[in-house]
Amino acid sequence: MGDGLVKLTYKIPADVDHVVIKRSAINDGEQVVYSGTATTFTDRGLINGVQYRYVVTCVDDAGNDSAGVAIVLVPKKNFLRAPKDGARVRKPPKLVWSINREASYYNVQVYRGKIKILSVWPKKPTRALTKRWRFEGRSYSLVPGLYTWFVWPGYGARSAVDYGDVMGSRTFRIVR
């Protein structure tokens, strides 16, 4: 989910010809927003904070529909500023996000795949990554690949472990 968008990812069973995705919102009728064989769908131009209900239905070669799977998603404003989502970078990026005036510090987490490789608590809304670092007793380095980062505002003393809602998430790719 992101600023004015949501992304659905799903698997299509072998005996399915295609999927149909329908969307509805409060005071809005259901409409087909996708029909095809892709395994992801990004719905753009949505309003942040509004609940959208999606139903993903599988259709076989004979035209028979499955019961469908429903999910409710709410796009939220993404307060992360740089690098741009999906940016391709050759050197360690500087992570930048909007200031939260009530935050005493921030928690920044970086993942490579599903593995957390960094968690830091800067007081300012930036963090310049380095080529190499240590985290939880292990050495890490920025190698070519896809990275995802998240930021949470922290309130009061760090020991209080009082965090607000996630400010957003973005990805960047290290290329050589």
Give the pLDDT of residue 2. 60
Q: Using CA atoms, how far apart are residues 59 and 20, in angstroms rounded to an integer?
A: 7
List domains and CATH numbers for the chain. 5-73 (2.60.40.10), 80-174 (2.60.40.10)
Residues 30, 35: Cα–Cα separation, whole Å: 14
Output the pTM of the full model: 0.67
Q: What is the pLDDT of residues 37-66, one digit of tens each?
A: 999 999 998 988 889 999 999 999 999 999
Residue pair 137/130 in contact by the 8 Å Cβ criterion: no
Q: Which phi and psi (to 5°) does residue 158 adopt?
A: -60, -35
Closest CA to 105 of 118, 120, 115: 120
